[in-house]
Amino acid sequence: MEKAILVHLATTKKEKFETEESMEELEGLVKAAGAEVVKKIVQYRSKKNPKFLVGEGKVAEIIQQKDELQADLVVFEHNLSPIQQRSLEDEIQGKVIDRSQLILDIFAQRAQSKEGKLQVELAQFNYLLPRLLGKGQALSRLGGGIGTRGPGEKKLEEDRRRIQNKISKIKKDISKIQKRRAEQRRSRKRGITPVVSLIGYTNTGKSTLFNILSSEKMLSSPQLFATLDPVIRRVTLSDGLFFFLSDTVGFIRKLPVELITAFKATLEEIKEADCLCHVIDITSDHCDSQVRSVNNVLAELGISDIPIVKAYNKIDLLPDETQIIQRNTDTRSHQVYISAKTGTGIQALKKVFHDILFKHMRHFSVRIPKSEKDIINSFPKWSVVLKRIDNKDFYDLEIMADPKKMVDYVSYIKRGEVNW
């Protein structure tokens, strides 16, 4: 297992205030990547060092700690410019990465589907390309002469071309997948079945909630980014109505722009949902800032008109769980307190989904003569058929539908209401 030293620079009051949270999260990311944290180093200074990010004295401290602790890599909480990363590696004589590169590495480990792997690969190449460009520019600034021509610079040019060609190919492959996924979304939209997307900060319990709602056995792990590839399953409610549930990648503060761009197709699933379920870890010391981070990502995606249900998860870890669960009596607030682990509050959550997704629908009993097959076959296209009984000369159907759409079928209604 690799040993890592973590480094955080705070140049503003906000960054100083968030130091503990930032380092705690960075440690979680390092552990998720499979390394051990052996030291945390923090520096407060008014300006960033353009060469090393941190001051030269702090670089000397990092070198000393690296040698004493036999660390394998140094991880910076701040994103490093190509020049800063190269200068640090030259000075420290070891591997130096930043937060974005760390997250990309975790995504590369976790992606399972072809689409997920392509998206991560695209993000990695987009991250790597300017770093190669930076090296090329550094060489060109040296001017002509020994050491500025030959295999070194030629190799960089070849690397750039190879990476640019790979990026183009990956984009084409992802485009094909995007078109297929878009068609799948259109097919779902053409149907009557609504979609709920689970969103939230990474490690808030989305996969555990997905499992209990859909009766699935997906991987649920305390590690960050346990779920990368979107999964869709059907969830049936107590009255027979059902919806599709989608689990998505967890959000995080300062999500690398390369990942937001690469995973745009995956995040499009969220934009097409009829309802979002924002899963929140109520036990986290950083609950409020995590909620803000998720809201910021939603704003970047341009999502503002989709109903959002806030599911405050992990109440089983709170001492006043019994009192908190009483708040679920008012489901109009679209806030539900749950434990995805124990199942507490899940029925209240389902009721909120029911009220949002099917608020325009009413229950009807209809009788259709078998001679009118076209009418019988049309019902599943615009209503939810709960039950269908085959009698001698007709079908009896129990359906949920928008009353306005039942106007043309009044003569077939046995029980129910139509809004004229």
Below-50 pLDDT ranges, the chain? 134, 136-153, 219-222, 226, 418-420
Q: How close are the terminal C-alpha atoms of the chain, in Å?
A: 70
Asked if 378 and 406 count as a contact pair (C-beta separation under 8 A), the reply is no
Does pTM top 0.75 for this prediction?
yes
Asked if 276 and 309 count as a contact pair (C-beta separation under 8 A), the reply is yes
- State the pLDDT at residue 230: 64
How far apart, in whole angstroms, are the C-alpha atoms of residue 280 and residue 36?
27
Provide CB contacts within 8 A for 327, sequence distance 6+.
335, 337
- State the pLDDT at residue 229: 59
Q: Both tokens of residue 337? A: 């307190």
- State the pLDDT at residue 218: 54
Q: Dump pLDDT digits (tens) for 266-323.
A: 677 788 889 999 999 999 988 998 999 889 888 877 888 899 999 999 999 999 888 8
Asked if 337 and 361 count as a contact pair (C-beta separation under 8 A), the reply is no
- State the pLDDT at residue 191: 64
How far apart, in whole angstroms, are the C-alpha atoms of residue 80 and residue 52?
9
Burial class of residue 340 (count of CB atoms within 10 Å of its CB; 0-12, 13-18, 19+) = buried
Provide CB contacts within 8 A for 402, sequence distance 6+.
360, 361, 362, 382, 383
- CB-hemisphere CA count at 13 Å for 409? 28
* Torsion angles phi and psi, residue 28, rounded to 5: -65, -40
Q: Dump pLDDT digits (tens) for 323-339.
A: 888 888 876 779 999 99
The C-alpha torsion from 92 through 94 and 99 to 105, rounded to 10°, is 170
- State the pLDDT at residue 151: 42
Nearest Cα neighbor of 23 from 13, 10, 33 is 10
Edge-first strand listing for the sheet containing 195-200: 231-236, 242-247, 195-200, 275-281, 308-313, 335-337
Provide CB contacts within 8 A for 95, sequence distance 6+.
72, 73, 74, 89
